Structure 1
C-alpha cells in the first residue's frame, strides 16, 4: 500500500509539472518545441503569425499528450507563406486559423515531417482553414494530409478551397500508414467552387495505386455544404472505410466508392433541394454496403444520380472501374430524386454489368413526377427484392418492385420515413450548428449593402465610377456617350446599368478586364467599337491573363454590341488559360459587324479535361455579320470527373455568321466536349455549320425546332454517337431556301 501511495504521489507530481508555455514569435516557438514535455501546452500568443513554417516534432504520451494551441481560439491567425507539420506521438493542435496566405509546399497541414517521420495518435481539432490558396488555379495543393495511424481530425472548419487538390486526404503510401484507423468527425466542409477539372475532391481516402490496401478510416458526423469541386465530393480509394451519419447539403457531386472494397455507407443524409446537378451515392467495386441512407431532392443524372450503380471494366486495372460484385443497397429512402442510374457508364470499355448484388427494401417516393430509373446494361446480376415506389413508373426489373400508397412521417431531424420500408434516421443529423467551430463564421457571402453610383457621360467617367465601387455595386449610366482611354479592371463583381441611349466606346485594346475576385453584369447598354485601336487581338471583355483561382460570372442583358471591326480578330469576350466562369449568360441582346468571335471560350488546350466555362446561356439574341464564330467552346481529353459544360441556345437568330476568310473553325458554332447542348427555336440564315464534337462520358446534343435558311446545318461527331439512336434529339428542324417564311427566332 505504501508503494502504491508513492507511485500515485510521483504520478501526481509529474502532472503538476505540466505547464503552459506562452510563445510570441517563431524563435520562441521553435525553442519551446525542443524542450516541451508530455502534458505541456505550447501557447501561441494572439495575433498574426506571418510566413511561419511550424514543425511540431516531439512525443507526448496517451495520458499526457503535448498540445500546440492558440492563446484564444480564433485569435491566432497563420498567414502569408505558412504551413504546419506534425511528427511524433500523441500531439494535439487546436484553435488556429489559416487565412490570407498559402503554403510554400503542396500541403498546408501534414501529419508527417517527411516520408520516414510520421504522426501517430495525434489530433487536429477546432482549426479553421479559410481561402488559404495559392494564386495558380491548377497547382495541386492539399489542405490537410493524414499519414501514420490512429490520428483524428475533428470539429475543424474548411471553407473556400479554390485550386486543385483535395481538401482533406488520407495517404497510404507506405505500410506505416496502412490500416490507419483515422477518425474524421464533426467537421464543417464549406463551399467549394466548381474547379472545372479533375482534382476537386473534398475528401479522399487513398489513391488508385494503393486502393487494395486496408485503410479502416471512419468518416462520421461531418457536414458538407455546397461542395461542388467535381463529380466526387468523397472519393473512396482504399478498403474497409466507413462513411456514416454525414450530411451533404446541395452538393453537386456524389459520395463515390471509386476504388477499393468493403466500404460501409450508413445513415448519411443527402439533401439537394432541387438544385441542379446535386448527386447521391455512386457504387463501384466489390463488397460494398449502402444501408439506411436518406436522399431528398437530388437532381443529378449519369454519374451524379441519387443512386448510381456503375458498369465495370473486365479485369480492370487499378485506375479504372472494377465491376460491382457482392454488394448490397438496403433500406434506403429516395424522396423526390429524379434519377436512379443502373449499369451507368456502359460502353466498349466498361462492358461488365453488376453481379451477385442486391437492391432491397428501398423506398422511392415522389410528390411529383415518378423517379426515373435509367437502365444502361444487363441487370440480371442484381437481385431486386421488396422495393417500394409510391407512383407507377417504369421499373428496372419485372420483380422486386411494388407500387404502394405510402405515407411519410417527418422526424424531428427533418428527414422523412415510412413504416417498415426504407431508411429511418432516428438521431440528430450533422448540421452547420453542430459541426466545425462556433467562434468562426460559416457564411461566405458578403453582407454589405450594394450602392448605386451614378456616372455622367464623358471621358473615363465609367472608369472612375468602377474605381470607387465595392463588391455588388451598381454603376448607373444616363443617355450619352462614355468614352474610355483607360482599361477598366474589375477586382470585384459589379453591375453597369444604362438606358437605351447609353453608349460606351473605347480607344484601348480592351474595355473591361475581369481580374481575380471580379465579375460583370451589363444591362441596357450600347457598346460601339467605332474608335477602338487597330491592333491585334482586341476584345471588349477579357479575363485576366494571369491564373484566376476564383470563379467569375458574366451576364449581358438587353445590350447592343456593334462595329468590332478595327482588326481581323476583334472578339466580344475572350478568356485566358486558368480562368473559369460559373455562368456566361447573354440575353435579349444584339451583336453585329464583328470581325472575330462573340464568345471565345477555348483557351484550355492541354487535353486533360480542363475547360473555361460551366454554363453558357444564349436566349433571345441575334448575331449578324459575324466573321468568326458566334461561340467557340473547347474541352479536350477524356476525363469524366467534371460536368464539362452546359449550353442552351433558345429563340436566337444567326445571320451571315462564321463565313469570314480567317475563321479557322469554318463554323458558326464550334463546340468541342460539351456534356449538354440544347439548341432550339432558332434561325440560322446564310451562315456556316454548327460543328459539335462529343468527346467524353455520355454527352447529350439536342438540336431541334430550328430553321436553316441557305445555311449549312449541323454536324455531330464523337465516338459512340449515332444519329439514328439520337434522332429524337435532332428532330423537327426545317431547312428552307430563298425567301421561304421563317416562323421562329427572336421573341
Structure 2
C-alpha cells in the first residue's frame, strides 16, 4: 500500500513539472527587433524565458542596456538573428544588469565604446549583473581613436558570471582588454568563469596599460575573487610585460595556452592563487615569458614552458623579492610558494629573488621547488640568483646542465633525452625521469576550440609584398594614383625615370614601392613631405633615388613622416638599397619624423646611402612627458652610409620610471658615418642619442669627424653594448645612469680611437 502511494506521488510530481514546463514554453516569447526603438519597447515587456533577437545588419551608435530579471530555469536571452551578422558599429556598447541573462552572437567592429567599457556587467554602481553569461561575441579592433584614452573591452562586475567562447582581437588604445572588477562588496568573492575565449594579437602598446587580462587591482588585492580562467588561448598578446595580471586572491588559472606572447602570467598581488596545467609556447620569439611569482601561498604546478627567451621581470620563470612591510600597491614577500612538476624546455632565464634592490630586500621564504625538469639544448644553465634564495627549498629536480652552486644539491644534472608526444609536448624518454615535469595527461587547448566557430581567426598584420604587383611609368600623377588604387600588401614597381610628386602621399595600407632597376627610379616632391604614414599604413622602399631638391624652401621639412597626432595603429617602415640626397633646401630638413603618439613596431634601414641632410635621419623622440611612452620598439640600421648630416642619425627617447615595457631596442651594425651630428641646431649634441633605450647594440661601425654617441640609462636594467667600432676624429661615447646609483652599466669596449 505504501509503495502504491509513493508511486502515485511521483507520477503527480512528474505531471506537475511537465505542466509547468509546457506552460513555461507557452509563455516564453521571441521578440525580433530591427531598431533601437523597437528594442526598448521589447525590453519593457520581456519576461523570464523570453528571447530578444536583433535583426541582421549594421546597428550604428547603439548603446544597449540589457536590464532584466530572468530565473535559473528561464533566463532572458539577447542574441543575433544570425550569429555574426549583427554588427555593432560607431559608438556602441553593451551593459548587462539583473539576473540570469544570456547574450550571444554579436560583433563589435568599426567603432569604439563611448563609455568606459565595450561590454560591462553592470548598468551603474548600483545595478550589477549576476548569474549571467556573455558567449560567442566578437570585439574586433574596436578602439577609441585616442590611443591614450583608457577603456576596457570587457568589465566583469557582480557575481557568478561567465564570459566564454568569444573573440577579442586588436586592442590598441590604453586599458586592459578584460578586467575583473572587485570595487564593491557585490563584486567580491565573485566566482566568475572566463573560458574558451580567443585572446588574439594585442600589439605592443609602448607604455603601461596594455594588459590582456587583469583580475582585481592593488587597492583590493587582499580581497578574494575566486575567478576561474580556463581553456583560453592567448595568441601573441604583446601589449606589455603582464599578459595576465592577477591582483586578488584565490583565483584558478588553468589549462590556458600562451602562444608567442611577449610577457608573463604575473601573480602581481593577492594570495592563495593556483596556476596549473598552463602551456607556454614561445618559439624563440623575443621577450616571450612564463610565470612570475609574488605574494603568499601561491601554487604553481604542472605547467609547461618551451622556447621562452624573456629575461628579468619577463623571464621564463621568475620568483620576486618583496618589500619589507610592503604597502598594498608594491611587492609583497613571496611566502609559502610551491613550484612543483613544471617542465621548462629551452627556457633562457629562470630568475630567483628578482628585483632585489634597496627597496625590494625581502627574500622568498618557506617555499618549495620540487619535481621540475629543466632542459636547454644549448647547454646553458638558465638560473640567475639576485639575492639569498635559501628560503626556497629546492629538492628532487633534474636538469641537463649543471646549475648554480646554491641550487646544485636540489637539481640533479642528468643526461635527459626527450621526445614530443601526441599532445605536442616534450617528455623525457627514460622511465625513471617520467615523474619529473608535467603529466602526460596534460592536453593544451587548440586555437580552433576557442572563440566562436563562425568567426575566422585571420592574420592581423599584412606582410610586405604579399599582394599584387603593379608596374608604372614615370608620367605625371602615376605614382600618386597607383598608391591610391593599390590594395593592402601590394607592390608598386617603378620603371626607370623621374617621378615628380606634387601632392603629399598618404600611406594607409601596407605597401612596397621599389625600382625595377636599382637606382634608376628617382622620386622628387614639391610638398613639405613626400610620404605620410597614416593609420593602417606601413611602407617599404627599395632601390630608389629619393631627392629633396624640389621641396619648399622652408625649415622643418621631412621626406617621410607619420601622422602628426591621433595614430592608433602601429606601423612598420623598411628601406633598402636606396639613396637619399638633397635634403638641404633649408635648415632642419629631416629624413624620418615621428608624430606624437605614433608607434613603430619596426623601423629598418639596410644598405642605403644618405648624403647632404640638414636635419636628423630618425626622429623618434616625441614622448617627452616621461610617462614611459616611446615611439618605436625595434630600430635597426645595417650597412648604411651617412655623409654630411647636420642632425643626429638617431634620436630615440623613452622617459619616466615605468618598467612594464620591453623597448626600445636599437641595433646599429656595419654603418659608416662621416661628418654626422655637428650642426649647430642639433640640440642632442650627439650623432646617436638614446635615452631610456632598453637594449642597444652598436658594433662594427665607423664614425669619422662626427659627434659623440650619447647614452642615458633610466630604469629597467638596460643592456647597452658599444663594441668594435672605429672612431676617427670622434670623441669616445658617453653613458650615464640617471636613476641607478653608481657607475654606468654600458659595455663600451674593444673600440678603436684614431685622430688624423
Q: TM-score range by the shorter chain?
A: over 0.9
Task: Please state if 1:133 is matched with 2:151.
Answer: no
Secondary structure (helix, strand or coil) at the match of 2:288 reads: coil
* Structure 1 contact 416–424 (Cα < 8 Å) conserved: no
* Structure 1 contact 297–336 (Cα < 8 Å) conserved: yes
Choose 350-359 or 582-591, whichever is displaced more: 350-359
Task: Please state if 1:358 is matched with 2:368.
Answer: yes
Distance 1:638 1:261 in 2: 27
Distance 1:658 1:71 in 2: 63
Choose 406-415 or 618-627, whichever is displaced more: 406-415
Provide the residue aligned with 2:4 in structure 1: none
Shift of 1:719: 4.5
Task: Please state if 1:734 is matched with 2:752.
Answer: yes
* Structure 2 contact 715–740 (Cα < 8 Å) conserved: no
Within the candidate set 424, 431, 454, 2:446 is matched to: 431
Task: Please state if 1:544 is matched with 2:563.
Answer: yes
* Structure 2 contact 637–668 (Cα < 8 Å) conserved: yes
Provide the residue aligned with 2:539 in structure 1: 520
* Structure 2 contact 473–495 (Cα < 8 Å) conserved: yes
Provide the residue aligned with 1:605 in structure 2: 624
* Structure 1 contact 277–301 (Cα < 8 Å) conserved: yes
Secondary structure (helix, strand or coil) at the match of 1:466 reads: helix
* Structure 2 contact 712–738 (Cα < 8 Å) conserved: no
Q: Which runs of structure 2 are paired with 1:553-592 in the superposition (5 Å)?
A: 553-592=572-611
Within the candidate set 378, 397, 408, 1:398 is matched to: 408
Task: Please state if 1:298 is matched with 2:317.
Answer: no
Provide the residue aligned with 2:221 in structure 1: 211
Provide the residue aligned with 1:311 in structure 2: 321
Provide the residue aligned with 1:257 in structure 2: 267
Q: Normalising to structure 2: TM-score of the pair?
A: 0.95
Secondary structure (helix, strand or coil) at the match of 1:583 reads: strand
Shift of 1:722: 8.1
* Structure 2 contact 224–250 (Cα < 8 Å) conserved: yes
Provide the residue aligned with 1:487 in structure 2: 504
Q: Which runs of structure 2 are paired with 1:450-489 in the superposition (5 Å)?
A: 450-489=467-506
Count of matched residue pairs: 737
Secondary structure (helix, strand or coil) at the match of 1:308 reads: strand
Distance 2:49 2:71 in 1: 8
* Structure 2 contact 169–199 (Cα < 8 Å) conserved: yes
- Gaps (5+ residues) in structure 1? 739-747
Provide the residue aligned with 2:435 in structure 1: 420
Q: Kindly tell me: are residues 602 and 720 of structure 1, through their superposed partners in 2, closer, same or farther at Cα, counting changes over 3 Å?
A: closer
Provide the residue aligned with 1:90 in structure 2: 100
Provide the residue aligned with 2:79 in structure 1: 69
Task: Please state if 1:336 is matched with 2:353.
Answer: no
Q: Kindly tell me: are residues 57 and 120 of structure 1, through their superposed partners in 2, closer, same or farther at Cα, counting changes over 3 Å?
A: same
* Structure 1 contact 345–697 (Cα < 8 Å) conserved: no
Shift of 1:9: 2.5
Provide the residue aligned with 2:455 in structure 1: 440
Secondary structure (helix, strand or coil) at the match of 1:398 reads: helix
Shift of 1:527: 1.0
Provide the residue aligned with 1:162 in structure 2: 172
Task: Please state if 1:626 is matched with 2:645.
Answer: yes
* Structure 2 contact 693–713 (Cα < 8 Å) conserved: yes
Q: Kindly tell me: are residues 10 and 494 of structure 1, through their superposed partners in 2, closer, same or farther at Cα, counting changes over 3 Å?
A: closer
Secondary structure (helix, strand or coil) at the match of 1:133 reads: coil
* Structure 1 contact 411–426 (Cα < 8 Å) conserved: no
Distance 2:385 2:496 in 1: 58
* Structure 1 contact 331–363 (Cα < 8 Å) conserved: yes
Shift of 1:611: 0.4
Provide the residue aligned with 2:673 in structure 1: 654
Provide the residue aligned with 2:735 in structure 1: 716
Provide the residue aligned with 1:112 in structure 2: 122
Distance 1:69 1:227 in 2: 28
Distance 1:301 1:359 in 2: 20
Choose 321-330 or 259-268, whichever is displaced more: 321-330
Shift of 1:224: 0.6
Q: Kindly tell me: are residues 46 and 590 of structure 1, through their superposed partners in 2, closer, same or farther at Cα, counting changes over 3 Å?
A: same
Task: Please state if 1:694 is matched with 2:713.
Answer: yes
Provide the residue aligned with 1:741 in structure 2: none
Secondary structure (helix, strand or coil) at the match of 1:299 reads: coil
Distance 1:686 1:247 in 2: 53
Deviations 1:423-469 (A, max 9, x none): 12514321111111111101134599611112222433322221121
Secondary structure (helix, strand or coil) at the match of 1:730 reads: strand
Distance 1:58 1:724 in 2: 64
Shift of 1:725: 7.9
- Gaps (5+ residues) in structure 2? 1-8, 429-433
Within the candidate set 30, 54, 58, 1:48 is matched to: 58
Within the candidate set 624, 636, 642, 1:617 is matched to: 636
Deviations 1:127-183 (A, max 9, x none): 111111121111112101000000000111111111111111100011111100100
- What is the root-mean-square deviation of aligned Cα atoms in Å? 1.7
Deviations 1:247-301 (A, max 9, x none): 0011011101111111110000000111111111111112111100000111111
Choose 401-410 or 142-151, whichever is displaced more: 401-410
Task: Please state if 1:237 is matched with 2:247.
Answer: yes
Provide the residue aligned with 1:744 in structure 2: none
Task: Please state if 1:21 is matched with 2:31.
Answer: yes
Distance 2:380 2:405 in 1: 11
Distance 1:723 1:735 in 2: 26
* Structure 1 contact 354–381 (Cα < 8 Å) conserved: yes
Within the candidate set 637, 642, 664, 2:656 is matched to: 637
Deviations 1:451-507 (A, max 9, x none): 111222243332222112111111111222111111111010111111222211112
Deviations 1:719-742 (A, max 9, x none): 466897847x2211111111xxxx
Distance 2:543 2:662 in 1: 32
Q: Which runs of structure 2 are paired with 1:358-377 in the superposition (5 Å)?
A: 358-377=368-387
Provide the residue aligned with 1:202 in structure 2: 212
Distance 1:187 1:368 in 2: 35
